[in-house]
Chain A
Amino acid sequence: MLDSTLVGLHHEEEHHPELLHHFADAQQQRDSASLGMWIFLGTEVMFFGGLFCAYLIYRRWYFGDFGAASKSINAALGATNTAVLICSSLTVVLAVWAAQTARRSLLIGSLVITMLLGLTFLGIKGVEYKEKFDEHHVPGASFSFDHVPIPGHPDQYANPRHAQIFFSLYFIMTGLHALHMIIGLGLFAWLLFMAWKGRFTPEYHTPIEIGGLYWHFVDIVWIYLFPLLYLIDRHP
């Protein structure tokens, strides 16, 4: 009796086991997953947007001091990190394509390289933070920013209080971004595990697609962070 009840639940045509019953078809399920991730990314845009707004206002108020502070952070490392993240976005997109075309080794290889690039990004960030720590540019009791000339006005020194505001924003914005990076690495570790176990097929690889959307978003945030924080006033 129990058997016939259970059999009766699947009397329609066979469908992929991953298709949940409240969706009309697999395409709708994919679309709703994508839409859900995009709405979440919308909230993340607001999250970072508030910080960007604060940054823009203070930068307008204290442009010279921000320029002096910006000049002291390592733009070469920042540019390298931008290139690292762009390469990782490429490997993410290759991973999605590999899942769509059932290329298992390319899928796993792309996921691994994405994670390695993410770790490289965090490593370079760590080097930058260490530089700032050594130069006493970390906001707090040991912060010092004396006698640093404002770019373009060699006779004027930057106001240390305003420079400290820059560094507060620098550490909070890049720190929040790095936290998102770490979360992304955790997500991709899970995706790698599932891919290794063969869970993804051309019909079902939604976690890779929406994990990829998250990673691309983190890349886009950095694409804006880099010129705003590192390149305020770099001309000699």
Chain B
Amino acid sequence: MYFGIWAALLLGTFITYKVALIDLGRFNAAVALIIATIKALLVALFFMHIKGAHEKLLKLVVISTVFFLFILLILSMADYGTRTWS
């Protein structure tokens, strides 16, 4: 089963690289980041054994880490992205 995840990760890398060579305009970054997030989820869920972990506190720690990271990134980008004066 690990080999399946490994193959999926390599495939994702290959697709990311090839899609970057195609002009999708503003969606190049979105596609690359979506594929990267899927790869990160595969590593976290299956290689780091979050899926199947019976300790609920562990899942809470992981989710809140991601949550706080999102606050940092999204609110910062929303601030700069909505400044219309410069």
**What count of chain B residues pass the 8 Å CB interface test?**
43
A interface residues, Cβ below 8 angstroms from B: 31, 34-35, 38-39, 41-42, 45-46, 49-50, 52-53, 56-57, 60-61, 75, 79, 82-83, 86-87, 89-90, 92-94, 97, 212-213, 216-217, 219-220, 223-224, 226-228, 231-236
Q: Are A231 and B48 in contact (CB under 8 A)?
A: no
Q: Given contacts A42-B65, A46-B68, are A220 and B43 in contact (CB under 8 A)?
A: yes
Residues of B within 8 A of A236 (CB): 21
Question: A-facing mask of B1-12, CB < 8 A → 1, else 0?
Answer: 011001001100
- What are 8 residue pairs bridging A and B, where the CB atoms are less than 8 Å apart in the complex? A53-B73, A60-B81, A79-B14, A86-B6, A90-B47, A220-B40, A224-B33, A228-B33
Q: How far is the CA of A7 from the CA of B31 in the complex (A)?
A: 64
Q: What distance in Å separates the Cβ of B59 from its nearest Cβ neighbour in chain A?
A: 10
State in angstroms the CA–CA spacing of A232 and B29 once bound together.
7
A52 to B72, CA, bound (A): 10
User: When the two chains form the complex, which single residue of B22, B47, B64, B72 contacts A89, counting CB atoms closer than 8 Å?
Assistant: B47
B77:A234 contact, CB within 8 angstroms: no
Partner of B62, one of A38, A61, A224, A226: A38
5 tightest A-B CB contacts, nearest first: A227-B32, A231-B20, A42-B65, A235-B23, A90-B6
Report the separation of the CA atoms of residues A41 and B44 in the bound assembly, to the nearest whole angstrom: 12
User: Taking the nearest CB of chain A, how far is it from the CB of B70, in angstroms?
Assistant: 9
Task: Tell me which residues across on chain A come within 8 A of B76, comparing CB atoms.
Answer: 53, 56-57
Q: Give B3 Cβ to nearest chain A Cβ, in Å.
A: 7
By a beta-carbon cutoff of 8 Å, the part of chain B in contact with chain A is 2-3, 6, 9-10, 13-14, 16-17, 20-24, 28-29, 32-33, 35-36, 39-40, 43-44, 47-48, 53, 55, 57-58, 61-62, 64-66, 68-69, 72-73, 76-77, 80-81
Q: In chain B, what residue has the closest Cβ to A233? A: B28
Given A31-B55, A60-B80, is A231 in contact with B47 using a C-beta cutoff of 8 Å? no
Chain A residues, CB < 8 A from B10: 83, 86
Given A89-B47, A235-B28, A60 contacting B20 (CB threshold 8 A) = no
Closest CB in chain B relative to A77 CB, distance in Å: 12
Q: Are A50 and B72 in contact (CB under 8 A)?
A: yes
